[in-house]
Amino acid sequence: MAVLELKKISKHFGAIEAVKDVSFALEAGEVIGLMGDNGAGKSTLVKMIAGNFRPNSGTMQMDGREIVLHKPVEAREHGIEIVHQDLALCNNLTAAANLFLGRELKTGFGPFKVLDYAGMYARAAEIFVELKSETRPRDLVKKMSGGQRQAVAIARTRLSNAKIVLMDEPTAAISVRQVAEVLNLIRRLRDQGITVVLISHRMPDVFAVADRVIVMRRGTKVADKAIAKSSPEEVTGLITGAIETV
């Protein structure tokens, strides 16, 4: 059964139809590349899955049960996490502090509770080792490379045991070597049985890591096929409109 299934989802802002009758299903442990030009409806679609927008029509089902998301918090409660393009990290805090931001562990007895530094360092280290990242819990984020920052942002989704991770342009602003690091992080998530939706402009990254590619153009889904059966040329054609649909 699909982890998440979208059925005929539409969203319009006034007269502008941002997303029109889009349907697809996401399976567990699958990496999906979501591609499309600026204004094709990718972000609107992702924001509906993340609970930022409510669709005007259509339904969403998780594990066969219909869900309605009013707020991002509700999406998170259903196990849908988003890694924002700017990563939403605090430079002045350590990796562990960022990881646990808003859900800090505490220790002590009765009403006398203090931050559990040891516990948070230990859990953070576990997650970084699991992700095979070289990020260390006590490092300040401002001294980290782009890849390590991504690792911290992705580690947050592990903390909450997310089922679906939406990644918004994770490789847009980092160096070539770090891109490889981030792609490895995505593979680690997939190996844990997590579904990853990779929103990206970068064709090579999508073809390197995704199992399936969904192409959006002018608010509609124009392609949804296995990476092995497609090619960068075909996807480029679909994005620009040179190829109508497949």
Partner 1 sequence: MTTTLDSTIAKKQETFLSHLLGNQAFWVFIAIIVASLFLSQATDAYATTKNLYNISRNFTFVAIIALGMTIVIITGGIDLSVGSVLCLCSMVLGVVMHAGYSIEAGIAASIATALIVGAFNGILIAYIGLPPFVVTLGMLSIARSLAMVASGNTVVFEFGPDHDKLLSLGGGAWFYGIANPVLYMVVLALLTGFVLKWTKFGRHIFAIGGNEHAAILTGVPVRRIKVAVYMISAMSAGIAGIVQTGWLGAITTNIGTGKELDVIAAAVIGGAALAGGIGTAIGAVVGAALIEVIRNSLGLLGINAFWQGCVIGGAILVAVLFDRIANYRRAD
Q: Shortest distance, CB of residue 21 to partner 1, whole angstroms?
A: 30
Looking up tokens 């497609």 gives: 230
Nearer to partner 1, 157 or 230 (CB): 157
| Contacts to partner 1 from residues 215-244, by CB under 8 A | none
Closer residue to partner 1 (CB): 113 or 177: 113
SS3 assignment, position 47? helix
Kind and range of the H or E run holding 156: helix 146-159
15 binds partner 1 (CB under 8 A): no
Determine how β-strand 80-83 pairs with β-strand 164-168.
Answer: parallel
State in angstroms the smallest separation of the CB of 121 from partner 1: 5
For residues 227 and 198, what is the distance between their CA atoms, to the nearest angstrom? 13
Q: Which residue reads 């007895």 in tokens? A: 109
CA 187 vs CA 24, 167, 177: distances in Å: 22, 13, 16
Tell me which residues in 123-152 interact with partner 1 (CB under 8 A): 125-126, 128-129, 132, 136-140, 143
175 binds partner 1 (CB under 8 A): no
Q: Please identify, among the stretches 40-48, 53-61, 82-90, 214-222, the one whose residues bind partner 1 according to the rule CB under 8 A.
A: 82-90
**Least CB distance to partner 1 at residue 78 (A):** 15
Q: Which residues, 6 or more positions from 47, have their beta carbon under 8 angstroms from its beta carbon?
A: 53
Among 162, 157, 159, residue whose Cα is nearest residue 79: 162
Of 52 and 56, nearer to partner 1 (C-beta) is: 52
In the chain, count H helices and then E strands.
8, 12
Which positions ≥6 away from 103 have C-beta within 8 Å? 159, 160
Rule CB under 8 A: say whether 201 interacts with partner 1.
no
Q: Which member of 16, 88, 173, 242 binds partner 1 (CB under 8 A)? A: 88
Rounded CA gap, 32 and 213, in Å? 6
Between 94 and 230, CB nearer to partner 1? 94
**Of the residues 28, 93, 203, 208, which one makes contact with partner 1 according to CB under 8 A:** 93
Residues forming contacts to partner 1 in the complex (CB under 8 A) are: 72-73, 84, 86-93, 97, 101-104, 106, 114-115, 121-122, 125-126, 128-129, 132, 136-140, 143, 156
